[in-house]
Amino acid sequence: MFTGLSAFPFTPITSDGIDEAAYERLVGRVADAGVDSIGALGSTGGYPYLNREERARAAELAVKSAGSVPVIIGVGALRTRDVLDHVEDAQRAGAAAVLLSAMTYQALTDDEVFGLYEDVTANLSVPLVVYDNPGTTHVKFSDELHARIAGLPRVKSIKIPGVPADQVRARVGGLRSVLPDSVSIGISGDAFAADGLLAGCDGWYSVLGGLFPKTCLAIARAAADGDAARARALSAELAPLWTLFARYGSYRVVSAIAVEIGLLTAPGLPRPLRPLGETGRHEVTAVLNGLTKRD
């Protein structure tokens, strides 16, 4: 479950909950493509913007729609009490694992971040993926902190942020050297995934995989087969998408793509976030039209 392609579908958010039918379609489409796992309620799944009830409902729908594909469910929150509530709901819904970020308002010390994972793993009966996402949480995990957390029971994988191609081998090698063998490393930041997998990452926690799972599976399989040229070439074809992700944020771009290709009838973003404006939507259309192959 913690290797290969883990696809993170978008959660369409409405003013009074989530668009359940659309969410089931998005998850089902990803499961049907044969991904190795599904990440529900990751950042692309909008977890920080949903209340407990909405998150519990999304977890249920994701597990139901995923069929036999294991579902990893995001449980992060600013307060440990709320994380534990989300863990309870995720487990009840049938989560195969949980994904835990270290969300912050007040900056956290390393001991506080470790304490969060300690408190949560002590109350957990499924595996946990450490979600290292400095772009949203502003927490910087050192290798030493990762190693401390990886020593806790039930910690089975680390979702690391993207690393530039010329640094990824050193980054992954350095982190690997301090982790138990039982803990996998998964790359995120889709633009960096091919190089990350080729540099020794065990898996790819993918935003685009939630929309175009077959396209992303082709990259992941090429990398797993050691076909570096093919993995890089397939990723390079998607470079215009990576550019849009960097320009507008992948969350807004994924929403716009889903509308553009008819998977959603509304952007499904929670205010204060706003959908892409006309310029951005035109760029999305142009990029999609330029892709020779995609799901």
Binding residues for pyruvate: 44
* From 23, 117, 131, 248, the catalytic residue: 131
Structure token pair of residue 153:
């029971």
> Exposure pattern of 268-285 as b/e (b: 16+ CB <10 Å)?
bbeeeeeebeeebbebbe
Build a one-symbol-per-residue string for 65-84: x at contacts with a copy of itself by CB under 8 A, - elsewhere.
Answer: -------------xxxxx--
Distant-in-sequence, close-in-space partners of 6: CB < 8 Å, separation ≥ 6? 35, 36, 37, 38, 39, 72, 186, 203, 204, 205, 206, 209
* From 23, 47, 156, 159, the catalytic residue: 159
Build a one-symbol-per-residue string for 226-265: x at contacts with a copy of itself by CB under 8 A, - elsewhere.
Answer: -----------------------x-x--------------
Interface with a copy of itself (CB under 8 A), residue total: 34
Q: Is the dihedral of CA 260, 262, 265, 269 positive or negative?
A: negative
Interface stretch with a copy of itself, choices 100-108, 176-184, 214-222, 284-292 (CB under 8 A): 100-108
Interface stretch with a copy of itself, choices 27-35, 231-239, 256-264, 271-279 (CB under 8 A): 271-279
Nearer to a copy of itself by Cβ, of 109 and 289: the residue is 109
Does residue number 92 form part of the binding site for a copy of itself (CB under 8 A)?
Answer: no
Does residue number 218 form part of the binding site for a copy of itself (CB under 8 A)?
Answer: no
Build a one-symbol-per-residue string for 28-57: x at contacts with a copy of itself by CB under 8 A, - elsewhere.
Answer: ---------------x----xx-x------
Find where tokens 């910690």 sit: 155
Three-state SS string across 150-189, please? HCCCCEEEEEECCCCHHHHHHHHHHHHHHCCCCCEEEECC
List 147, 270, 281, 294, residue binding a copy of itself (CB under 8 A): 270
Does residue number 289 form part of the binding site for a copy of itself (CB under 8 A)?
Answer: no
Nearer to a copy of itself by Cβ, of 63 and 113: the residue is 113
Does residue number 19 form part of the binding site for a copy of itself (CB under 8 A)?
Answer: no
Find where tokens 């175009």 sit: 212
How far is residue 186 from each of residues 104, 155, 210, 281, measured CA to CA in Å? Answer: 22, 13, 16, 30
Could you confirm whether 159 is annotated as catalytic?
A: yes
Could you confirm whether 131 is annotated as catalytic?
A: yes
Does residue number 293 form part of the binding site for a copy of itself (CB under 8 A)?
Answer: no
Provide, rounded to whole angstroms, the least separation between the CB of residue 197 and a copy of itself: 26
Q: List, by residue number, the catalytic residues.
A: 131, 159
User: Which positions touch a copy of itself (CB under 8 A)?
Assistant: 15, 43, 48-49, 51, 78-82, 102-109, 111-113, 115-116, 119, 135-136, 138, 249, 251, 270-274
